Structure 1
Amino acid sequence: MFGFADIIKFLISFFVILPIVTIIHLSGHIFFVTLFGASEKKIVIGSGTKVFSFWNIEIRRYYFWNGACEFKSLRHDNRVTNTFIYLGGALFNLAGICLVHVLISQGILEKSVFWYQFIYFSFYMLFFSLFPMYFSDGSPSDGKAAVLTLKKQHEKNISDDIQFMKMEEQNKPDERFKNDNK
């Protein structure tokens, strides 16, 4: 039977546990981006308008829905490094699952609904990030991006949650003043 206690569990799952799992996933991407020498890195938590930011982390209005890892350039940019970047989120989710499982089996953490939900959402994130598919906006999942990269068919550093920020063109004249010298 679905009762009031279940509603509380549902709210905690979606507004606390899922964002934690998302942060772990994005941390995996940012770890490998940092390892391979990226510049101007940023983690975006959620979607919607920006609420606040600290360090290189931006929190958006709907913090519980989605997220992204952004960067501008890589010092080591090749198929192998890009594959690790794409798979980094899933690797960190898998590491989180294993860590919680070991801590529970050693008696360090108690078995609880919280940890059950954490493992459940971590598997959910792991599965759908690795499932090789395109999303409705045309961006590939991390798994699809990794496969395309290994096949040399993927040219952009982009997936559903990794965004390669293009460098702004420098010394480009402002279009507003283009005809002022006539």
Structure 2
Amino acid sequence: MFGVNDFLKFITAFFIIFPVVTFIHLFGHIFFVLLFRGKGIKIIIGSGKKLFSVGVVEVRRFYFSSGGCEYSYLEVDTKVSNSLVFLGGSLFNILSILIINKLVGMGVLSSSIMWYQFAYFSFYFVFFALFPMDFPDGYPSDGKIVYRIWKNQTEKRSSEDCHWRTN
């Protein structure tokens, strides 16, 4: 049932596709931080000890496991701008799914398990980012922080993967 071919698909999914989907999600947050002239930007890919940095991107030892982004300031600091920052990751994941599906549909990319896995992980990110809940680490999801923004409960403007630093 689970053969060598399946093992290679698993390795590809978790060590290549998942980190790419994570980066797209995090870049979606940062895109809106940049759009609203944010400062103190950092994208962290993975967890564990820092391996290297390239500009504002920091790659950690377990690059395939989670990630986060940080910013310290938004020049345009409104409910709409803050909401778009926290919804940006999901918007970019959805946009990437639509682009891949269009390219597959046009025949530019061939239909394959890799694109299926890409869409699957992207939907996974969107679902858990938008579902209004608190994660085990105590941080709210992006959806819950947007809800808090609109309810004027913004004493803590950090979600599970997007952190507003006060320093």
**TM-score under structure 1 normalisation?**
0.90
> Aligned to 1:110, what secondary structure does the other structure show?
coil
Asked whether the equivalents of residues 132 and 144 of structure 1 are also in contact (C-alpha less than 8 Å), the reply is: yes
User: Which residue in the other structure is 2:162 paired with?
Assistant: 162
- Structure 1 residue 77: Cα displacement: 1.1
Aligned-partner residue type, residue 139 of structure 2? S
- Structure 1 residue 156: Cα displacement: 2.2
Deviations 1:86-125 (A, max 9, x none): 1000000000000000001111110011111111111111
User: Which residue in the other structure is 1:17 paired with?
Assistant: 17
For the pair shown, which has the larger CA radius of gyration, 1 or 2?
1
Q: Which segments of structure 1 move beyond 6 Å, counting only runs of 4 or more?
A: none
Unaligned 5+ runs, structure 1: 168-182
In 1, distance between residues paired with 2:116 and 2:85?
A: 28
- Structure 1 residue 131: Cα displacement: 0.8
Unaligned 5+ runs, structure 2: none
User: Which residue in the other structure is 1:140 paired with?
Assistant: 140
In 1, distance between residues paired with 2:4 and 2:163?
A: 40
In 2, distance between residues paired with 1:54 and 1:36?
A: 23
> Aligned to 2:38, what secondary structure does the other structure show?
coil
User: Which residue in the other structure is 1:171 paired with?
Assistant: none
User: Which residue in the other structure is 1:125 paired with?
Assistant: 125
> Aligned to 2:74, what secondary structure does the other structure show?
coil
Counterparts of residues 17-96 of structure 1 (less than 5 Å): 17-96=17-96
Aligned-partner residue type, residue 147 of structure 1? Y
> Aligned to 1:133, what secondary structure does the other structure show?
coil
- Structure 1 residue 68: Cα displacement: 0.8
In 1, distance between residues paired with 2:128 and 2:71?
A: 23
**Same amino acid, percent of matched pairs:** 50
**TM-score under structure 2 normalisation?**
0.97
- Structure 1 residue 4: Cα displacement: 1.1
In 1, distance between residues paired with 2:154 and 2:166?
A: 16
In 2, distance between residues paired with 1:11 and 1:38?
A: 36
In 1, distance between residues paired with 2:40 and 2:140?
A: 23
- Structure 1 residue 74: Cα displacement: 0.9
In 1, distance between residues paired with 2:18 and 2:107?
A: 24
CA RMSD in angstroms, aligned pairs only: 0.8
- Structure 1 residue 155: Cα displacement: 2.2
